[in-house]
Structure 1
Amino acid sequence: MGLIGQIMGLVFGSGRNVVAETAEVFRVNAEAQAGREAGLQSAALQQFGQEFCLTQRGGFDRFMDALNRIPRPAMALGTLAMFVAAMVDPIWFAARMTGIALVPEPLWWLLGAIVSFYFGARFQSKGQDFQRDLVVGLSTVPQVVRTIGDIESLREVSPRPESPAILSEDDVFQGDNPALAEWRGLRH
């Protein structure tokens, strides 16, 4: 066993693994790499924990976080409020939309740039389409006003007290229709 032990000691070294050490020259030791990555991840999590710790945040940080949460819900609720306003008081709504139509185009571009930085570049092209659709929608305002006027005029019409609530057959079948007259004669 002495000769085999000497050959093995020559190949693998005395107490060392020469094959593993040689392989690490060409390939990273996976176990050691996993240990290094775990240490790096632990250090990063510890740094994030210190940076975003809730006990270290001041009043200004909390105020700014709250302020940053307002625009999206405000825009969504404002849009819904515009729909409600259009149904409740169309004349008031039409006056406001006419005022919006008078806003100069460079101001629309400025608003579009500000909001696009906040919400993304997609808003800019959609905003221009919205402005074009708004002008088309405003062209229907006179028709809407006439329709609302017609509907409101129906409130002034009241039924005559002498008119019967239920129509009789004689009221329904007046006229020069011989087929209806024959049918009426068969029924009586």
Structure 2
Amino acid sequence: MGLIERVLTLVFGADRNVIAETAEVFRVNAEAEAKRGADLQGAALRQFAAEFSCARSGWFDRMIDGLNRIPRPALALGTLGLFVAAMVDPIWFGARMTGLALVPDPLWWLLGAIVSFYFGARHQAKGQDFQRDIARALAASVPQVIDSAQRIEALRPDGPEPPAAPDNPALADWQALATK
């Protein structure tokens, strides 16, 4: 019993499992891989939430953002309402459309310019905010990436390897012509 116990203690004892540790050299531990994947996904979601949170804006900014979101749904729902009105009461709808037909063209152009500038300016402002946030995130991460790349390069024994000579004679001739 002592010999068997010693062999089993050697393989499985002292909170070790030599068989499992050896198997993990050849096959990834599925549970540990799932945990790493979940940790990575959680970190990505936290970073995304930090980049796009409204924590930096005050209550007034959030209120104005909310008000700025009203016109598009109002225009879409209003247009659908016109279709419903045309089906429910065609005479009422016809009278309103006749009134719209009497609006002079320059007034329509003015309305088009106002709506275009409103939506265009909002689109531009939101786009610039997004680009500013992306630039800020990149500026914060670039030094870390450069540092990591330099540390990895420092691990090379004699610096970067030169490119290998091509095995293709036609390619070698072409490269020789290109360098002349």
Largest Rg, 1 or 2: 1
TM normalised by structure 2 equals: 0.38
